[in-house]
């Protein structure tokens, strides 16, 4: 079996084609705007823009599954108010959560704790 890997140029994503089509998204860093604000830079939330970009990736690649790789949230080990607010919104509104695999990352506990107040339950982490 041949596996082809196609990067989405200038994007933090790639498509792996083999027996199935897997869209790999890396390092979303949801909540980075709060960290920038604390450093003196006022940057509006990028959540809506991220969701639209992901929708575009999905339309472009038509994946069978999606792998969220690396840092989904920005702060480790803390959880900012923005992450507590936006990560559940991302997981509940993202088109990729229906067929996602989350990679094990350092923020596993924080990601799960952000989802406690929502109906969303992250899928199991896979190695």
* Cβ proximity of 27 and 67 under 8 Å: no
Q: Is residue 4 included in any domain, yes or no?
A: no
Q: Is residue 21 included in any domain, yes or no?
A: no
Local confidence pLDDT in tens for the 127 residues of the chain: 899 999 999 998 999 999 999 998 888 888 888 888 889 999 898 889 988 998 999 999 999 888 887 777 776 667 777 887 888 888 777 766 556 655 555 444 445 554 554 554 555 544 4
Q: Is residue 84 included in any domain, yes or no?
A: yes
What is the distance between the alpha carbons of residues 113 and 23, in angstroms, rounded to a whole number?
A: 26
Would you state the pLDDT for residue 28? 84
> How many structural domains comprise the chain?
1
Q: Is residue 17 included in any domain, yes or no?
A: no
Would you state the pLDDT for residue 98? 58
Residues spanned by the domain of 61: 27-126
Would you state the pLDDT for residue 110? 47
What is the distance between the alpha carbons of residues 95 and 98, in angstroms, rounded to a whole number?
A: 7
């Amino acid at each position: 079996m041949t596996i082809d890997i196609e990067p989405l140029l200038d994007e933090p994503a790639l498509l792996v084609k083999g027996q199935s089509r897997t869209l790999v998204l890396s390092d979303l860093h949801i909540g980075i705007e709060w960290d920038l604000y604390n450093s003196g830079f006022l940057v509006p939330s990028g959540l809506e823009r991220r969701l639209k970009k992901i929708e575009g990736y999905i339309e472009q690649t038509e994946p069978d599954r999606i792998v969220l790789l690396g840092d989904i949230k920005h702060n480790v080990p803390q959880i900012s108010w923005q992450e507590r607010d936006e990560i559940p919104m991302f997981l509940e509104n993202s088109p990729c959560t229906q067929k996602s695999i989350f990679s094990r990352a350092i923020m596993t506990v924080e990601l799960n704790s952000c989802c406690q107040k929502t109906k969303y339950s992250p899928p199991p982490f896979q190695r």
